[in-house]
Chain A
Amino acid sequence: MRIQTRALSIVMLVVFLGIAAVFLFPFAWMISSSFKEKSEIFANPPIWIPAKLHFENFTQLFTEKNFGRVILNSLFTAITGTIGGLFFCSMAGFAFAKYNFRGKGLLFGLVLASLMIPMESSLVPLFVIYRDLGMIDQLWGVILPRLTSAFGIFYMRQYCMTIENELLEASRIDGCSEARIYFRIVAPILIPAFASLGIIFFVEEWNNFLWPTIILRSQENLTLAVAIRALQSGVRTPYNLIMSGSVISVVPMLLAIFIFQKQIIAGLTEGTLKG
């Protein structure tokens, strides 16, 4: 029996290593291609390690395509979007979880409604509103519609439910204002929730494509995903540059997940199941 289990364990390990190789294959190909010359990308037989490593695929992005700025833009949208989203969602979630007030049912209905009206169904009017507010080609414009996600409010509400009422009451008796309660009592309790939801927000914002590609236009305002797509210009698409741009956008995420794998996965699972 034990020998059987051990054999099974080895066989399955090999099988899973094979499957893992398939899952890693596109990333390997991406990295390999990012060092190639244009003509090597589609070579037959395929080239894994190019004759010469073309680091200029990367430097060219920074010198000609302003990728330094582009990366900062991506960081800016992802970080402000995440922090803002966490702040607003937690406040609303807290209010829904711990207060009784007139119109609560109606307001919560609005949260449900916003869950059901996907952004994709109002692209044109959103665009018109942006135009009228002068938010076209503004990084803020990318972040704003995502600040109060219904999903985030649900998630935070769920988490806030676990806070004990006595704790809040005690602070009120001590003379804490409601704002103070939120900042001093609630927010620290919510830190694990901030971490989990924050990861989700950050990943979503970093990879966000549809809306940024509609409103961002000048090269110095693009985010990474949009900037990579914008490389598809010219008469012949420079796939080597597209691949090096992709590496730039993917590698930080790869490093992050290998370092924080447990936390990230736990966060995402909790996130989806709780929300």
Chain B
Amino acid sequence: MQNLYWKWQFKSAPYWFIAPFVICFIIFVFLPFSYSVYLSFTEWHGQETKTFVGLANYATLLKSGDFWQSIVNSVLIFVLYVPIMLALALIFAACLSTTWMKWTGFFRTVFFIPNITSVVAISFVFLLIFNADQGILNQILMSLGLFDEPIRFLETPWWARVSVAILVIFRWTGYNMILLLGGIQSISKSLYEAAKVDGANGIQSFWHITLPLMRRLLAFCTILSTLGTFSLFTEPFILTGGGPNMATTTPVVLIYNESFKNLNMGYASTISIFFFILMMILSLVQLRLFREHD
């Protein structure tokens, strides 16, 4: 009897250990997702009755520009910030891992701070800084004589996207820098010493040793940023509310607005399904890359 119990507890242990995950998975992932699929075929505005409308929402989504616009917006914001952010992160990482750089710990911390502080708080500060008529950024730019007219940062589509991009660069450069720093530090020192013997200077060895070895890590960072850009929410939500003229409406802002502002819950679910497919493809790419990297 004792023996039997012993066997049972050994056999069942992993299931008990995994049970909380399975329960949470069912309640918070599986059920909602299946329900989302169902809702995407209905017209529902939050009242008691839902009307089954078949593929009507899908037709609307394909016809209306909203969803595509949100994808285009994300891609544009992505193009605006990712190259700059990764270049900065790489330069910072390279400099902070040299022997001659001082105060590396301090700089690492400073660049990293924006990533762990509240997005809401930071977005509000940038809202003040970017204010077109009285924001401090325009005051600085104009007093330096760089511009005569204030830049309408949050009021014109391109500048609004640039503003969101700047905020994202501010928040995520340090994070990517840390990742790249890990990569650089894992490169064997002997490679650099050998290069030095061959007469290569710092920039040359960066170009010929560091960069090629970091390629995969950079790709990994890019994929992370892609996922991040499509699910960007708080930054545009607070800075621009998705405007002007939808220029900074990302897929998640669109889903949020359609579900909780316009109460088009059926249609919002349809957008969610498309968003899910997009994210799934990107995550698969990420997992792939990451497996190889590991």
Judge whether A261 and B109 touch: CB under 8 Å: yes
B58 within 8 A of A: no
Q: Which residues of A contact B287 (CB under 8 A)?
A: 112, 115
Q: A120-B233, A210-B256 are in contact. Are A26 and B31 (CB under 8 A)?
A: no
Find residues 13-40 in chain B having any chain A CB closer than 8 Å to their own CB.
Answer: 13-18, 20-22, 24-25, 27-29, 31-33, 35-36, 39
* A186, chain B: closest CB distance, angstroms: 10
Partner of B134 from the list A33, A43, A94, A129 (CB cut-off 8 Å) is A43
Are A214 and B260 CB-contacts (below 8 A) given A124-B36, A153-B21? yes
Closest to B108 in A: A265
1/0 contact trace for A95-119 toward B, CB 8 Å?
1100101001001001111111111
In the bound assembly, the distance between CA atoms of A42 and B138 in angstroms comes to: 11
A107 and B22 within 8 A (CB): yes
A257 touches B35 (CB 8 A): no
Nearest-neighbor residue (CB-CB) of A4 within chain B = B100
B283 and A203 contact, CB distance less than 8 A = no
With an 8 Å Cβ cutoff, the count of chain B residues facing the other chain is: 88
- Tell me if A26 and B29 are in contact (CB < 8 A): no
Contact A117 B107 (CB under 8 A): no
A76 within 8 A of partner (CB): no
| B113 CB contacts on chain A under 8 angstroms | 23-24, 27, 253-254, 257
Say whether B49 faces chain A, with CB atoms less than 8 Å apart.
no
Contact of B125 among A29, A179, A207 (CB under 8 A): A29
- Report chain B residues within 8 Å CB of A45: 139, 143
Contact assessment for B18 and A96 in the assembled complex, using a CB-CB cutoff below 8 Å: yes
A179 to B9, CA, bound (A): 9
**A234 interfacial by beta-carbon distance below 8 Å:** no
Select B256's contact among A6, A44, A107, A123, beta carbons within 8 Å: A123
Q: Is B222 an interface residue (CB 8 A)?
A: no
How far, in whole Å, are A20 and B170 apart by their CA atoms in the complex?
A: 11
Instruction: Kindly state whether residue A70 has any CB partner on chain B within 8 Å.
Output: no
Q: Which residues of B contact A257 (CB under 8 A)?
A: 109, 112-113, 116
Q: Is A177 an interface residue (CB 8 A)?
A: yes
Among listed A51-59, A60-68, A224-232, interface-contacting one: A224-232
Q: Of A6, A16, A250, which one neighbours B95 at CB under 8 angstroms?
A: A16
Q: Is the CB of B255 within 8 A of A42?
A: no
Chain B 152-194 near chain A by CB (<8 Å), digits 1 or 0:
0000000000000000001000110011011000000000000
Residues of B within 8 A of A3 (CB): none
Q: Does A128 contact B (CB under 8 A)?
A: yes
Q: Is B119 an interface residue (CB 8 A)?
A: yes
- Whether the Cβ atoms of A129 and B31 lie closer than 8 Å is yes
- B128–A41 CB distance below 8 A: yes
Does B105 sit within 8 A of A, measured CB to CB? Answer: yes
Cross-chain contact A225 with B118 (CB below 8 angstroms): yes
Question: Which residues of B have CB within 8 Å of A104?
Answer: 14
- Complex: how many Å from CA A242 to CA B238? 12
Q: Is the CB of B121 within 8 A of A120?
A: no
Q: Are the C-beta atoms of A249 and B118 separated by less than 8 Å?
A: yes
Determine whether the beta carbon of A123 is less than 8 Å from that of B272. Answer: yes
In Å, the complex CA distance between A33 and B260 comes to 32
Contact residues, A1-23 vs B (CB, 8 A): 5-6, 8-9, 12-13, 16, 19-20, 23
Contacts of A26 in B (CB 8 A): 114, 122, 125-126, 129, 170
Write the chain A residue with the least CB distance to B233: A210
Asked if A134 is at the interface (CB within 8 A of a chain B CB), the reply is no
CA distance A160 to B238 in the complex (A): 41
Contacts of A209 in B (CB 8 A): 119-120, 233-234
* Known contacts A12-B95, A122-B36, A148 near B21 by CB under 8 Å: yes
Q: Which of B60-68, B77-85, B207-215, B274-282 contacts A (4 or more CB under 8 A)?
A: B274-282
User: Contacts A27-B113, A115-B283, A249-B118 hold; do A121 and B272 have CB atoms under 8 A apart?
Assistant: yes
27 A-B pairs whose Cβ atoms sit less than 8 Å apart in the complex: A8-B100, A23-B111, A26-B114, A33-B125, A42-B131, A45-B139, A46-B139, A107-B22, A110-B25, A113-B29, A114-B29, A116-B283, A117-B33, A120-B252, A121-B275, A121-B276, A122-B32, A144-B27, A207-B117, A209-B233, A224-B118, A225-B121, A246-B121, A250-B122, A258-B109, A265-B109, A269-B181
Q: A46-B139, A118-B276, A118-B279 are in contact. List 20 more A-B contacts (CB 8 A).
A: A13-B102, A23-B174, A91-B20, A101-B11, A107-B18, A113-B29, A115-B283, A121-B275, A122-B29, A122-B272, A125-B39, A128-B35, A148-B24, A178-B16, A179-B16, A210-B234, A210-B252, A249-B121, A250-B118, A268-B175
